[in-house]
Structure 1
Amino acid sequence: MNTCILIPSYEKYRVLAGFTARQIDRHWRDHPPIFFCGFSVPVDQSDALLMLHRSSDDWIGILMDAVRDVRKKGFKMVYLILDDHPPLGPCEWGLLNHVLPQIMLKREAETISLFGSGQGRNLEGRMTSEAGVELEQLPDSYLWRYSLHPGLWSLKALDDRLGKLDAKMPNNCERTPWAFERLSGVKTSRGSTQEMTQCYRFVSSGRTASQRDQVVALLYRACGVGARSMAGVLGGAASWDRMSHRFDFIHHYFGGPYPIIWQGLMAKGRLNPEFVKFCQYFFKRDLLRSATTLIADDAPG
């Protein structure tokens, strides 16, 4: 299918990028080849590291160079996965390896995000279906339609988008992942009408390759709804808010074909508290231990 995986990172997070790749090796059977970009020394000698041509803080430029490098190798599509978004459990490898790339080609999609609607998250666009897969087609009024959560991209479309951003962003401005998401999602049509784009995202009611994780998630969602309702009845709005916050983690976890947590593994240079809570509540002690050890070993000093 001419598909690869690209993990952009920074020098300080190259070990984290390696960890994410090893989790992909573990949970995604027969996955496409993995390439790294953004640092100069590979984590492992077997890693396919693309040449770094720019300053390490020019994320948009680094990704643009990497996209053009893999296009020269003959790839047409790419799973773009940031360094702190490892899969949190088994992946639906058949869907990722075959079905979604076929859908992308048939629909001429720019991107299909693996973090979508359902499981407590709102629908922002129009529901559609292809090859038995439920997708949401996003309107150009939705600012985050070019989300950098793990997803499948057309390399040509990604190259074009990066080229446009590169041309209008001076080298001294913040050329970061957040700038990419924010500036790419600016509405392009005029007026109040909703025009559909070629940006899609996966819709999931909780389907995941791990039946155990699916059952645990359903139980926590049911408990959360019941606990919030009871707290609201007994303690009013303030109690309802506190109980809602306690169960927020279940809505930040997305049990799709590539199970992920909303903000990723890291937050402000530390392990994301929502990731920690997920590991504890879903009985993934080994994953939490590995991530904690990784961060501790990679800390300066």
Structure 2
Amino acid sequence: MPANDDLRHFRVKDRLVPIRFPLVMGILNATPDSFHADSRVDVDGALRQAEAMLEAGAGLLDIGGASSRPGADEVPVDEELRRVLPVVEAVHVRFPEAWLSVDTWRAPVAKAAVEAGAGLVNDIGAGLLDPAMLPMVARLGVPYVAMQMQGTPATMQQDPRYDDVVTEVVHFLSGRLRAAHDAGIADVLLDPGFGFGKTTAHNYALLRALPRLKLLGAPLLVGLSRKRMINQVLGTDPSEALNGTTALNTLALEHGADVLRLHDVREAVEAVKLVAAFRN
């Protein structure tokens, strides 16, 4: 039995799909400037990487065409579509049973990607960067991830400040959960946004506070993969941060994480299995 074993049924378009948590979300970056160079892919590379991730046990593949790394410039919507749609279409055709996610804050990109085969929208803006996003996701009939971020990717790491980071993130996500449900979205996941407008101290405070976030009643997605909160402590760069990522993913599972979003699927799946063995 997996750690935090939890079977739920999500509405994905016209189907009710059983989803067992925790699950591992593999990252496919259709971008030229992701902070982790090995995750950048073209269509052929995406197909190879998707196959490897699915074979390793990924339950979800997250495809994005606009980097959200600190300091990233905004990508024009036409360029984001040009990057994302060929990858979504190709992966969906090759692996029609795979659950695909589109990583975007734009409603037009979400619409096009879902029509091309995606079955979840992962929005770093939580519906605030594009007011059309929540109504669009409701019409599309797919699950939705709302993430907390202070500022935008271009500004978020310019001296982020909170009076009480945990209380403020809980309050924000509670409000966005309510807004998503009010818009008609049936299934919502919440992401505290590790590394998005937060210092290393903020990030570790949120990691310790995952049980408090669980009280909101929605599945929790965490994205810790190769981030600065690891590299600053260990003195590594992203290419050297696999071991640190696995350590933090294990802590996240122990604190209630339901979805691990990351670049290295096999190691995360092993962490899920080992935490389950420890518990059971």
Same fold (TM over 0.5): no
TM-score under structure 1 normalisation? 0.27
